[in-house]
Structure formats: structure tokens, C-alpha cells
Amino acid sequence: NELVGTIFGHRFSFVLDTIIGLSLYTGYSVMLSGSGAIFKEELGLSFNLGIIVMVLFTFIVFLFKLEGLSIINTILVPILIIGILFTSIYLNTREGFNISNIEGVRLTAKGNFISSSLLYFGSNSLIIIIVFSSLLPLVKDKKTAILGGAIGGFILLLLGISILLSMLIYYNEVANLEIPMLKICGSINTVYRKVYALILWIAIFTTAIANGFGFMNRMEDKNKLIYTALFCISAIPLAKFGFANLVGIIYPLSGAIGIVLMIFILVY
């Protein structure tokens, strides 16, 4: 609230803060839906069970406030990084870095990859701005913040390149799939595909936590338990609209808001 109020002024900050809150709330619902999709499509379990499991796990973490977010990311993010890097290195080594269809690169260049990249950046920036502005008690100094941002940005670049190289090898087979990496992991073996599905669930889990913390920081500590429970439960109906449908509608809107907010922060 202080950050938005300082940059945009207190009159407009209420409107923008409300929009950001709705984006974080719907973003949490998207992650619930993603959990349900993985449970149903990859584990052969109920879609609703996937949602409920995600709600329960995130609810527990929310009760521990910012310390919970820090601990969860410390444990789960390295697992996610190792899983993506292993998949890329193994497949590229096995296939000799042979790209099945170089046309995939040309098709990507002709598509809307620039606008998609900007919206992806904006959507993630929205979460980062809200969460990082609340992490001051956990950051020792400015040098630590800059170093963390630089290392995090480099790791994201490395992971993006790793996923791209793997997808280009199997481009003909995965071009039209919603979650192509699961199909790619299936080429290693079916067990590893399940393992990667778990890794993907972890990624969804950490994103759900980030969205949830960003929203819950607006609540007073008094009656925090009740507010947290209401937040988690009320997001369930929206999650049932389907993962792909929610992503297609919500993420472009969140991305646009995030881009505008980042521009104002950089200018300020």
C-alpha cells in the first residue's frame, strides 16, 4: 500500500490496489485449477482432490506468514531447478542436440512471442512487486537484494533456455500441447513423467503461495485465521472453470497491469 500510494498518489492508489488484489486472488485460483489438472491428467486422481490438496497445503503455509514463504521457497525451488536442468541436459545429450524441426524457430519468430513475453513478464512482476515489497524484514541490505535479483534473473534465463532446447528437439510432437514438457519427459520414461508432474506441481504451489501472500498481506493480523480460511475456500469455485480457460483470460490482464506498474516504478 505504501509503495503504490507513494508512486500513484493516495487517490488513485485505492483503485489500483483493488485491481492488484483481484489479480492476485484470481491468480491463486488459477494455481488451484492447475493442481486439479495435474491430479486428473497425470496422476489419474480427482480434479477436485487436486484443488483441495493445494488449498490445504497453502493454507498451512499462509499461517506462518512471510517466514513460511521463505522456508518453502528455500526447500522447493532448488528441486524445481534441478528437475528442469536434468531434463534438458539428459535429453540434449541423448539426442545430440538434434532439433526435429528447425521451422519451429521460424514459426516462433513469426508469432506473438514478443507480446506473450511482455505479458508473462508483467504478470510475474505483479507478484514480485507485491511480495518483495513485504520482504524487507528478511533482506539484510541493498547489496543482498541486488545480488538476489541478479542471480534469480540468471537462473530464470538458464531455465528458459533449457526448456526451449528440449521443446525444439520434440517440436513436431509437442507444438500444440498445453503442457509440452510432460510429453517430453515421457520420452525418458513414464516414471520420470510422473516425477516431473510432481515438480510442475511444486512450481504451481510456490506460485500459489506468492499470490496468496500478496493478497493476504492486506488483511489485519486480528482474525487472520478466519480471513485466510475464507480466502482459500472462496477461490475454489473460480478454479473449477478450468486451467487453460483461466490462464487465457486472467494472465493477459494481470500482465498488462504488471507492465504499467513496473514502468511507473522504473520512472519513479
Q: Which three cell numbers stand for residue 8?
A: 500513484
Mean pLDDT by 10 residues, the chain (268 residues): 68 75 85 88 86 92 70 77 86 72 52 72 74 67 80 87 82 73 82 85 86 76 81 89 70 80 77
Distance separating alpha carbons of residues 150 and 156, to the nearest angstrom? 10
Rounded distance between C-alpha atoms, residue 93 and residue 86, angstroms: 10
| pTM attached to this predicted model | 0.73
pLDDT for position 172: 76
What is the amino acid identity at position 215?
F
pLDDT of the residue at 103 = 53
User: What is the reported pLDDT for 233?
Assistant: 92
Q: Please report the pLDDT score of residue 97 as a whole number.
A: 65
Within 8 A by CB and 6+ apart from 227, the residues are: 216, 219, 220
